[in-house]
Amino acid sequence: MCDRADVLGLPADDTLRVLDLEGVRPRSTPRVAFHRWSAPLPIAQLVSVGADALALGPELFLLEMARWVDELDLLLLCHELCGGYRIDRGCPGGFAARPPLTSVRALERCVERNAGVLGAKRLRRVLPFVGEGSESPMETALALIVGLPISRGGLGIPRPVHNYRLDPGRRWRGVAEKGHYRCDLYWPDRCVAVEYDGELSHTGAERIAADARRRAALQAMGVTVVSVTRDQLYHPASFQCLARVLRRVLRVRSRVRCSDYQERQGRLRARVLGYERDMSDIARLIRFG
């Protein structure tokens, strides 16, 4: 089995984790750790990784990870696998684009089929807060900060749609430069879009001018556009101003009933934005690869 770890290209300081499907559970070693799987394992949910080896598909992987990580880290993983990016420290911004690997519905079916497996209850609890189609870690962080309930430190605003497509149609073709627009976060029932202006992709005179034309076109189409910067998310005072703006344009009342809400909100932002001091190794891996 150690040879198999080498064939699969596993780093020398990492551990190959193997599911024991026969209940034998061989003795683990520093290079190979065995885990027991108590439910039937559908072949269709396994993927080939070469060298006559199979790995868990994205749904079973998240189900297995639900045993080891807390609900917030699990939410970050779900957004990544249901979204269009992967964490990669070697890329600008720390992530790279790729097609979604699964969907919320596929995860719901996986939980239903494996209801007795450890981790199924935790995965089921977080699925109502998972959005599909996120295209960056910061977009995911913003969606969680905004959409999680107040009891979890979020703003308690209804969950937005990621990268919602808006088609100008004939009426607005004169003001639209594109055949369609995609908004980072969008609330269709309120016609409100939140756009994250990242430092890498939204700087430079040409890009700033293009963003201004884009906002003007969306506003002409009746969309309220709220631009969010990195500073607004990281600085507490700026974030509180942003929260008030979002609640006002989305017509959502603040219903804070917990006395330690500010502390909960601060912890949530620290976790999803990645500046928590006591972050575990697995949490760092989830955010930064």
**DSSP of 179-227:** S-EEEEEEETTTTEEEEEE-TTTS-SHHHHHHHHHHHHHHHHTT-EEEE
What percent of the chain is modeled with pLDDT above 90?
47
Q: How many CB atoms lie within 10 A of CB 221?
A: 17
Residue 277's pLDDT is: 61
| Domain spanning 136-259, CATH class | alpha beta
Angle, helices 71-82/261-273, rounded to nearest 10 degrees: 50
Q: Which of 75, 218, 98 is nearest to 152 (CA)?
A: 75
Q: Cα 259 from chain centroid? A: 28
Mean pLDDT for all residues in the chain = 83
Is 154:126 a contact under the CB 8 Å cutoff? Answer: no
Mean pLDDT throughout 105-124? 92
What percent of the chain is modeled with pLDDT above 70?
76
Residue 199's pLDDT is: 63
Angle, helices 71-82/281-288, rounded to nearest 10 degrees: 20
Q: For 89, how many CA atoms within 13 A lie in the half-sphere containing its CB?
A: 6
Between the two ends of the chain, the Cα-to-Cα distance in Å is: 25
Mean pLDDT throughout 67-81? 94
Residue 220's pLDDT is: 84
Q: Sign of dihedral through CA atoms 255, 229, 147, 226?
A: positive
pTM here is 0.82
Comparing 243-247, 269-273, 284-288, which segment has the lowest mean pLDDT? 284-288
The CA R_g of the chain, rounded to the nearest whole Å, is 21
Residue 179's pLDDT is: 76
pLDDT at 273 over 80: yes
Residue 1's pLDDT is: 44
Residue 83's pLDDT is: 96
**pLDDT by residue (tens digit) across 224-249?**
999 999 889 999 899 999 999 999 99
- Structure confidence at residue 24 as a pLDDT band (50, 70, 90): low
pLDDT at 28 over 90: no
**pLDDT by residue (tens digit) across 152-194?**
999 999 999 999 998 887 666 666 667 788 899 999 999 999 9
pLDDT at 15 over 70: no
- Structure confidence at residue 34 as a pLDDT band (50, 70, 90): confident
Residue 257's pLDDT is: 80
Is 180:166 a contact under the CB 8 Å cutoff? Answer: yes
Cβ neighbours for 61, distance < 8 A, ≥ 6 positions apart: 55, 81
pLDDT at 282 over 60: yes
Mean pLDDT throughout 77-97? 90
Is 158:147 a contact under the CB 8 Å cutoff? Answer: yes
